[in-house]
Structure 1
Amino acid sequence: MEWKTRLTDLLGVKYPIVQGGLAYLAYADLCAAVSNAGGLGQITAMSLDSPEALREEIKKVKEMTDKPFGVNFAIGQHGRPFSHMVDVAIEEGVEVVSVTGGNPTPFFEQLKNTDIKKLVLVAAKRQAVKAEELGADAVMVVGQEGGGHLGRDDIGTMVLTPQVVDAVSIPVIASGGIGDGRGWMAAHALGAEGVEMGTRFIATKECVHASQAYIDALLASSEVDTTVIKRTLGAPARALKGPWTEKIVSMEAENADYDALKDLISGKANQRFIHDGQVENGYGWAGQVAGLIHDVPSVEDLFRRMVREAEAIRNGWNFEKRTDEI
């Protein structure tokens, strides 16, 4: 069964499945595994210390796969200059880049006169329309179910995706709450031409930078075991519930400002949880889809399972009326 959409044509992939940027986790092993399985793997650029580190990571991926892959730039969350990192992606001939968390205008300016495909993560219809106007080749639409940073309007994937599909002419990639073949097919039913998944890829064998404690926390989670932090700072983001996030939410309820919260919400606090397994001394991003994660397969096995599930659904979508029903 073929899975050809405008997105597969755009990205040169077999399946319209994109791996999320996953700060501090999306490196060569995971990226190459997703691309080899038929999707689009990505490296997280802004979690790396330098342009040289990004260049090395890109070279590692090229040694592990001959399939297309992308580089994600979280330009709004790290507060760091990014143009020198984009230069590396251009110089290394990366075929796809994605941008999250900020105004993509300077990013797009830097990519002028290149053939690099540009994906933009949005959390509102107006953002999708603007991204298309600026020159995005596709938009990734994240609903409030997703992990990590979200939109401010609390609009779910089921509602947001078809509205964006109706508002733009470029391919739409649904994100947030998707972790199996059912979610994948639901996205297509809403008009999307592919999906992006983040949380589900954390619990795979090739996500080698994720601590066992982080994996165990995902496996133990239900759909109600995540919470939204940083809402009072205007940057809502979904993470696993735990002592650390409970403290953040409690302080936000008491109107704590950024200075009071900055150490609690820092990248270092994130890494203490996801890398070092200090579950009471940090936090880990996760979407509500964590409630659907019950094992840690290889990326290849995850793709095979999703394809089987999706094919079974497609085969069951037969709405032709029988003559005896007319």
Structure 2
Amino acid sequence: MGKINIFFLLLFVFFILSGCLENQETKKNEVRKVETKDEDIIHSEVVSAKSTIEDAKSDEEITLQEKDEKWIWDGVNNYILFRNGHYVTAYQTFVEAVSHAKKMKESTVYFRGDKDIVWQSSNKSTSKLINAPLISQLPELPRGCEVTSLAMLLRTAGISEAKVNKTKLAKEIKRDTTPYKKENGQIFFGNPYDGFVGDMYSLNTPGYGVYHGPLAELAEQYIPNKVINMTGSEFEDIMFPVSNGNPVLVIHNSWFKKLPESQFQTWNTPTDKVKITMREHSVLITGYDKEYIYFNDPLSNIKNKKVNKKDFIDGWIQMGKQAITYVK
């Protein structure tokens, strides 16, 4: 009886030791995580570029390839976050990437590879002025400030006047053709988030404008894989491209400051209710300093027009923080 108990005891010890060895081997094969404290944020250990490429190959959403020692990022997560020169992760939008990058020191956000930097924590520039071409929306497009600002943006990006101009963009911009109707004190019309609303060519018939989405889509046709939609970002973050010499198209208002609520009305559109102001306007930001924001205004036809910085930012926030730019 004693021999049987010793046998089972030895067998039990054998299984325990086998399990411990298996656990140790499993731990060796697991991806090691290291917690580092940086401004009260806990991060996973960053990995090398080579490891990142290997990891991305098995990811269903993103593909990272190495070609001629350059990175090519192809997929939905176009904004790539690096910290201290090491890959951290990637995001679908500029806003997501930058909001996370701002929690880290020595962070950089790239766009679709390792060449184009769209945001960097080390940027300390306090002033910049870009020489972007000035184009007037008048007389052809009394409601065409957005496509005219887009024409200025694309011209600065290197697209020739022969290939792009305001009237061509006016024909190509996506439209919401919902007819204007006023019934029981309510307005039914199109949604500028979906396309240009109303008549762009005359102020004698109903019309409004268009917002960032359709503008970015149209810009993509001329400079594919280079358009950066920064809508929703903090104003200081959309100034990084300006620091690098790339102007920024914004949706604003013609007073260039925060408007009183009396200047707004609500429209019923096929997709949603939208808060609208007939003061809506679009300009191309060309510079900044400590006191002013500079921009090309297609309505007044003034190059590098300047407005008080705080006023400009307040008005821009009120209009939904809409901004698009490009990488060279």
Normalising by structure 2, what TM-score? 0.25
TM-score of the two chains, using structure 1 as the length reference: 0.25
User: Which one has the bigger strand percentage?
Assistant: 2
Larger Rg computed on CA atoms: 2
More helix by share: 1
